Chains A and B, each alone.
Chain A
């Protein structure tokens, strides 16, 4: 199956700093990528849909100025959590849409802990 990677897998940062998370589709091109957030014992919640070459579409309640998304190429999307606070601590997961199989493939996730 198609492979999606995320980097870093785990990050711990101080409150007020910014953190960038990368999502890469390793063996296919993805026009569309998605960013999810998963709090403990809760469901994956879609944060935004990232389209290559255009602005991301954010879900209701997600601050676009706080969660900056860039999808500059067909294999890379980045999520930057700006001025992170402890309440932003969560598991961030990306997925990439593969046109061939019409399927979303998920990355392994990034555990963000804000102190």
Chain B
């Protein structure tokens, strides 16, 4: 079993839709949770960073962490064609960006105009 599971998609939605992206994990030691966006042939860029359980909102993006279920989500409101990319979840057991990140496989999102 992989430490982090993520549905690879592809996920296609119309412009303006609410998008829900999810990851599950098996390692209860994970405390730090991140979502990255990766455009084709580019490196990932950090979207959201959360610690432990709870919600975090930034503009159209909301990240949720449910440690009891080992489940994290990223919601995108009012999705735009420019949101079309691969979204990767990542997590680590220790704080700080020097610690080892475990990535999901990424979900390919396509927002249709």
Binding site for B on A (CB under 8 A): 4, 6, 32, 41-46, 49, 91, 93, 95, 97-98, 102-109, 111
Q: List the B side residues contacting A104 at CB < 8 Å.
A: 46, 97, 101
A-contacting residues, B68-84, CB 8 Å: none
A-B contact pairs, 27 of them (CB 8 A): A4-B43, A6-B43, A32-B98, A43-B4, A43-B88, A43-B103, A43-B105, A43-B106, A45-B103, A91-B41, A93-B43, A97-B97, A98-B97, A102-B96, A102-B97, A103-B49, A103-B97, A104-B97, A106-B43, A106-B45, A107-B43, A108-B41, A108-B42, A108-B43, A109-B41, A109-B42, A111-B41
Query: In whole Å, how far is B38's beta carbon from the nearest beta carbon of chain A?
Result: 8
Q: List the A side residues contacting B45 at CB < 8 Å.
A: 106
Bound CA–CA A105/B34 (angstroms): 13
Q: List the A side residues contacting B42 at CB < 8 Å.
A: 108-109
B56 at the interface (CB under 8 A from A): no
Residue among B6, B8, B44, B96 facing the most chain A CB atoms (10 A cut-off): B44
Bound CA–CA A41/B86 (angstroms): 10
B contacts with A: majority SS? loop
Bound CA–CA A6/B88 (angstroms): 21
Q: List the B side residues contacting A45 at CB < 8 Å.
A: 103
Q: List the B side residues contacting A109 at CB < 8 Å.
A: 41-43
Partner of A41, one of B36, B88, B104, B105: B105
List 18 additional A-B contacts (Cβ < 8 Å) besides A43-B104, A97-B98, A109-B42: A32-B98, A41-B105, A42-B105, A43-B4, A43-B88, A43-B105, A44-B88, A44-B103, A45-B103, A49-B98, A95-B43, A98-B97, A103-B49, A104-B101, A106-B44, A106-B45, A107-B43, A111-B41
Query: In whole Å, how far is A3's beta carbon from the nearest beta carbon of chain B?
Result: 11
Q: List the B side residues contacting A111 at CB < 8 Å.
A: 41
Query: In whole Å, how far is B22's beta carbon from the nearest beta carbon of chain A?
Result: 15
Nearest first, the 3 A-B pairs at minimum CB distance are: A106-B43, A104-B97, A43-B103
